[in-house]
Amino acid sequence: MQILWSEFEKIEIRVGTIIKAQVFEGARKPAYQLWVDLGKLGIKKSSAQITALYQPEQLVGQQVIAVTNFPPKQIGNFMFEILVTGFANADGNIVLAKPDLQVPNGARLI
């Protein structure tokens, strides 16, 4: 399915640094709660099913790519505000999408 360029421009894809990560207690599927520093946009929360490949302590300090203009969504007792992105590897586990070099938090994908 193709989309118009004007539709793509509506999606805000930005980079941020994970500043806190913890096990999402009570989640239906194993997941982490993430707090991501998006620079001028502030610190936003997300949930990610990435427990197969990552431990919370190794996530802190990593930059990730996130969609930042979805409306907030409640998952269990946690309200998440952004969608951290990733790709499924050959085993079906999620690998985080991230820049290969450091960029300013909040920078928008162009």
pLDDT tens per residue, range 72-103? 999 888 999 999 999 999 999 999 999 999 99
SS3 87: strand
Closest alpha carbon to 64 in 89, 97, 88, 106: 97
Domain-wise residue ranges, the chain? 11-96
User: In the chain, which stretches have pLDDT less than 50?
Assistant: none
What 3-state class would DSSP assign to 104? coil
Superfamily holding 11-96: Nucleic acid-binding proteins (2.40.50.140)
Token pair listed for 55: 């431990």
Specify whether the CB–CB gap between 44 and 85 falls below 8 A: no
Q: What is the pLDDT of residue 75?
A: 84
Q: What is the pLDDT of residue 59?
A: 98
Which pLDDT score, from 0 to 100, does residue 77 have?
Answer: 86
- The predicted model scores a pTM of 0.95
